[in-house]
Amino acid sequence: MLRLRKRKGFTLVEIMIASLLGSFIMLVAVGALRAITATSEKMSGAVDTASEVRFAAREIETDLTNLYKDSNSLYRKLVGEVKETPEGNLSSITFYTVGGTKARFDQPEGDIYEVEYYLSKDGGKSRLERRLWPNPDKSSRPAGILTELAENIETFSVRYFDGQKWYEQWSSEQLETLPDLVEVTLLGRTPLSNDVMAQTVMVNLKSNATATNTLEAMEQAQQSETETTSTTDTSGGS
């Protein structure tokens, strides 16, 4: 006579324990996945910001290197301004540059362009803008093609060196001369990680023959500024 063996199944306690373990493992896996995703997004944002800052710096350096230099000051232009706005002091630089590539293929253009760089802030967002005017005319209002070079740019500052001192503003029309050096600093901030990406461009506008003297004068000016600051701090401390 055959006897049927009783098959023992899972008890309720065992099922509850298995469910709790499964839920715990799932929570750990989801948390790890979220952490990996967040880290990936931060790294991607940092890479994008750094790339945009470098691209903008290269554009500015290229345009300044190709600055149009005419013996007649009436045909030269380099104007650097600092304007007070509700968002703070915003710098801009406008100058003539020699372009090798046409901005508009279907319209006649010369090889002298007016280019302007400035920081635009609106609603908590900041953008570095580039305005390119193919046919500049001093008797007309500024116009041209507007391009957004980079986002999340917190700082766009420009300094001008005349051989002795640094200035935050310049006007070739009033001074009837160009600066020896132009220094542009860009500072971008990644939205998610809040990392700071900085890039500085320095362009020598003088000839190669005077470049060494200009750099030596710049170093002396910086050393003088440092000594002045140190003297002021010492006097303040005493």
Q: What is the three-state SS of 75-111?
A: HCCEEEEEEEECCEEEEEEEEEEECCCCCCCCCCCCC
Considering only residues 73 and 46, tell me which one the structure prediction assigns the higher pLDDT: 73
With a cut of 50, say whether residue 94 has pLDDT above it. yes
Is residue 158 within 8 A of residue 93, CB to CB? The reply is yes
pLDDT greater at residue 187 or residue 20: 187
Query: Is 60 exceeded by the pLDDT of residue 91?
Result: yes
- 157 pLDDT exceeds 80? yes
- How does residue 196 score in pLDDT terms, banded at 50, 70 and 90? confident
Query: DSSP label at 176?
Result: -
Q: What does DSSP assign to residue 73?
A: G
Distance CA 108, CA 110 (A): 7
Where exactly are the structural domains of the chain? 45-228
Model confidence band, residue 209 (pLDDT cutoffs 50, 70, 90): very low
Place of tokens 């099922």: 15
Percentage of the chain modeled with pLDDT above 70: 74
pLDDT of residue 21: 79
What per-residue confidence (pLDDT) applies to 99? 84
Between 36 and 94, the more confident residue is 94
At residue 96, does pLDDT exceed 80?
yes
Given its phi and psi angles, is residue 60 left (phi above 0), alpha (psi -120 to 50 degrees) or beta?
A: alpha
The whole-number pLDDT of residue 105 equals: 77
Question: Is-above-0.85 flag for pTM?
Answer: no
56 exposure class (CB count in 10 Å sphere: 0-12, 13-18, 19+): buried
The better pLDDT of the pair 17, 176 is held by 176
pLDDT higher than 50, residue 72:
yes
| Average pLDDT across the chain, whole number | 79
Distance CA 212, CA 24 (A): 68
What residues contact 146, with CB distance under 8 A and at least 6 apart? 129, 130, 131
Residues with Cβ within 8 Å of 118's Cβ and at least 6 positions away in sequence, in order, are 90, 91, 92, 93, 128, 129, 131, 156
